[in-house]
Amino acid sequence: MTSFTLNGKPVNIDIEVETPLLWVIRDELGLTGTKFGCGIGMCGACTVHVGGRATRSCSTPLGKIEGADVITIEGLDPNGEHPVQKAWKALQVPQCGYCQSGQIMQAVALLQDFSKPTDEDIDAVMAGSLCRCMTYVRIRSAIKQAAVEMGSTSNG
Amino acid sequence: MLKRMIAGLLILVIIGLGGFFVAAYRPALPATTAIATFAPELVAKGEILAGAGNCAGCHTVKGSAPYSGGYAMKTAFGTIYSTNITPDPETGIGTWSQAAFQRALQEGVARDGSHLYPVFPYDHFTKISDEDVSALYAFMMTRDPARVPDKVNELPFPLNIRALQAGWKLLFFKSGRYAEQANHDAAWNRGAYLSQGLAHCGACHTPRNALGAEAHDLEFAGAPIDNWIAPSLTKTNPSPKPWTEAELLVYLRTAVSQYHGTAIGPMSVVVHDGLAKLTDADIKSIATYFADVNGAASHGESAKPPLQNVVGVSAVGSNIYTAACASCHYNNSEPPNPLRPDLAMNSAVNLADPTNLIQVVLHGVSAKEGAPGVVMPAFANGLSDGDIAQLADYLRRSRTNLAPWPNLEKAIADIRAQEIQ
């Protein structure tokens, strides 16, 4: 039995502790916003937050998250209005959209650690989140726009 | 003539053996049936001390009752299982008097008179004061008794003859309580008392000789333990940043050091479950002691290691790092965010042996280990031995000025194989 919280709600689940967290989130708990990309932690599509840190759920075994707080794209904001999500919509970042929940989760974590990220910061932290539609230019713009909004809310 | 010589030799051998067994003999102490009661303050003190000794770490296995034993300690001589130290009268230590308990800790002899193996660190516990032994006894005897029979050790003949342990003691064991050192202050002495005695830091951090005894001339110089490396706690520790008293204090209290990494592997339970019980003052005294042992004050802090020394560095390793690691491990300023462990400073990358880095890459870090509540993914299934070797080689060459690690692929394969056994 593994216990953790998912988007603020307690979860107790009795499956093999080696099961990737991604399968638990999608197949057992039915939240399909988090995507499968490569399965080996190399593309970022499956990124969720564990303890507030961006974490690749495809290569995190369930047993490792006992007692932890997990947030998926569905839990980021009840109305999908997190400043990063708003910036993503305003700048029309997604094309096919498959990688975007992972991109957004990674970007939110980036802005927690680097409130005014430089291009170098964005390149270093986001390089592990691949986008086959090449939306990188708009991702960078949206991160900077969200940083401005988050900076003004926190100061204001 | 020859017959006489053989007979003479035989007699000598018999006398010698007889003498040895007489010297090795320890009487059984009477079983106690009285149900003792203990002052709550004494039990509470014992609970803290049991945390310092990390008794639960070795005397508990996952899924079994606390302190009921069964933990396998794999030594070079065979596998020895920890015993049930709950107060169950039949399978635990319920019939042990305080005198028997004290003799076990301070002399390494069980109540029935048999010699204990030094995997039970009585060579450290002999330094524990009688008062602290009383508190530990009060705590252990007030635990819930669990009926769990001890497992049979897997030791080859003649190591399974416990009386022979008397010989080991003669060679390597010095009985005696901790002696205060007048040239150091009270905090240092408290730290030394805890570290050398109950907390038995040297049991993992001091290399052992061919007969399994700690090499005292190499005290705290670092050693392999349970497929991990317990790093050196002396000035031979290769970290570019010194383990100052402040760094040690934060690390031992929270399991997270901004410059050296987090407590994982066998050290994780020591910090999270054991030392967590200690007062801030006691943790600080241990930090005071080890900051002196490692000479932090005279540590010539290295210049920041080259972060982009790309000479001879594998592009494969660099690409894996960019895709799989940088999103969490990248920092843009000093000091690094401790939740973004800076690999140029990290112990695992600076140690002479790559084992700890390989372990973490293979298995990640759970929410209970290291920094509480956060995890590192496990790459055992995603990366091949060759991939991990290239990644480790890239980190070693680009983050430190130390010699590259040789034979990484074999080291990784060996660590995977050890776990399957």
For range B19-35, the mean pLDDT: 85
CA distances to B242, B337, B340 from B258, rounded to whole Å, are: 12, 7, 9
Tell me what pLDDT residue B5 has: 75
Tell me what pLDDT residue B277 has: 97
- Grade residue A14 by pLDDT with cuts at 50, 70 and 90: very high
The residue whose two tokens read 């070795």 is: B58
d(CA A42, CA B233): 36
What is the number of residues in chain B?
421
* Lowest-confidence region among A117-126, B31-40, B307-316: B307-316
Question: By CA distance, what is B382's nearest residue in A?
Answer: A40
Q: CA of A69, closest CA in chain B: separation in Å?
A: 7
Higher-confidence residue: B122 or B36?
B122
A66 and chain B in contact, CB less than 8 A? yes
The residue whose two tokens read 């029309």 is: A92
With contacts defined as CB-CB under 8 Å, which chain A residues touch B373? 50-52, 67-69
CB B223 within 8 Å of CB B206: yes
CA distance between the termini of chain B: 55
B20's enclosing H/E stretch is helix B2-24
Tell me what pLDDT residue A156 has: 42
Task: Judge: B381–A125 Cβ closer than 8 Å, yes or no.
Answer: no
Task: Judge: B323–A53 Cβ closer than 8 Å, yes or no.
Answer: no
Closest by CA position to B82, among listed B57, B102, B65: B57
Please give the ipTM for the structure prediction.
0.95
Question: By CA distance, what is B365's nearest residue in A?
Answer: A64
Task: Judge: B366–A63 Cβ closer than 8 Å, yes or no.
Answer: yes
For range B134-142, the mean pLDDT: 98
Task: Judge: A51–B368 Cβ closer than 8 Å, yes or no.
Answer: no
Tell me what pLDDT residue A4 has: 98
Tens digit of each residue's pLDDT (9 = 90 or more) over B58-110: 999 999 999 999 999 999 999 999 999 999 999 999 999 999 999 999 999 99
Task: Say if residue B389's pLDDT is above 60.
Answer: yes
For range A132-144, the mean pLDDT: 98
Task: Say if residue A27's pLDDT is above 50.
Answer: yes
d(CA B143, CA B120): 20
Tens digit of each residue's pLDDT (9 = 90 or more) over A97-113: 999 999 999 999 999 99
Question: By CA distance, what is A117's nearest residue in B?
Answer: B332
Q: Collect all residues from B whose CB is shorter than 8 A from any CB in A.
A: 320, 322-328, 330, 332, 337, 339-340, 364-368, 371-375, 377-379, 381-383
- Grade residue A56 by pLDDT with cuts at 50, 70 and 90: very high
Task: Judge: B368–A54 Cβ closer than 8 Å, yes or no.
Answer: no
Nearest CB among A41, A121, A127 relative to B382 is that of A41
- Grade residue B4 by pLDDT with cuts at 50, 70 and 90: confident
* Token pair listed for B262: 């987090």
- Grade residue B352 by pLDDT with cuts at 50, 70 and 90: very high
With contacts defined as CB-CB under 8 Å, which chain B residues touch A34? none
d(CA B369, CA B374): 9
Q: CA of B60, closest CA in chain A: separation in Å?
A: 19
Q: CA of B369, closest CA in chain A: separation in Å?
A: 9
Task: Judge: B378–A64 Cβ closer than 8 Å, yes or no.
Answer: yes
User: Quick check: helix, strand or coil at residue B152?
Assistant: coil
Question: By CA distance, what is A5's nearest residue in B?
Answer: B373
Tell me what pLDDT residue B22 has: 81
A129 and chain B in contact, CB less than 8 A? yes
d(CA B112, CA B25): 11
Nearest CB among B327, B339, B374 relative to A128 is that of B327
d(CA B363, CA B394): 19
With contacts defined as CB-CB under 8 Å, which chain B residues touch A131? none
**What does the CA dihedral B382, B387, B393, B399 come to, rounded to 10 degrees?**
-40
d(CA B78, CA B152): 12
A45 and chain B in contact, CB less than 8 A? no
d(CA A104, CA A129): 10
Q: What is the DSSP letter of B344?
A: T
For range B216-240, the mean pLDDT: 96
Tell me what pLDDT residue B24 has: 87
d(CA B241, CA B258): 10
Task: Say if residue B117's pLDDT is above 50.
Answer: yes
Tens digit of each residue's pLDDT (9 = 90 or more) over A139-151: 999 999 999 999 8
Tens digit of each residue's pLDDT (9 = 90 or more) over B155-173: 999 999 999 999 999 999 9
Tell me what pLDDT residue B12 has: 75
Interface probe with B: pick from A34, A57, A113, most Cβ of B within 10 Å: A113
CA distances to B83, B161, B164, B169, B302 from B116, rounded to whole Å, are: 11, 11, 10, 10, 45
* Lowest-confidence region among B44-48, B54-58, B399-403: B399-403
Tell me what pLDDT residue B310 has: 55
Question: What integer best gives the mean pLDDT of chain B?
Answer: 93
Nearest CB among B323, B371, B373 relative to A42 is that of B323
Nearest CB among B326, B375, B383 relative to A50 is that of B375
A17 and chain B in contact, CB less than 8 A? no
Q: CA of B318, closest CA in chain A: separation in Å?
A: 12
User: Quick check: helix, strand or coil at residue B392?
Assistant: helix
Global pTM exceeds 0.90: yes
Task: Judge: B367–A61 Cβ closer than 8 Å, yes or no.
Answer: no
Tens digit of each residue's pLDDT (9 = 90 or more) over A59-112: 999 999 999 999 999 999 999 999 999 999 999 999 999 999 999 999 999 999
Task: Say if residue B368's pLDDT is above 50.
Answer: yes
Tens digit of each residue's pLDDT (9 = 90 or more) over B406-420: 999 999 999 999 876
d(CA A74, CA A101): 9
Interface probe with A: pick from B264, B340, B375, most Cβ of A within 10 Å: B375
B133's enclosing H/E stretch is helix B130-141
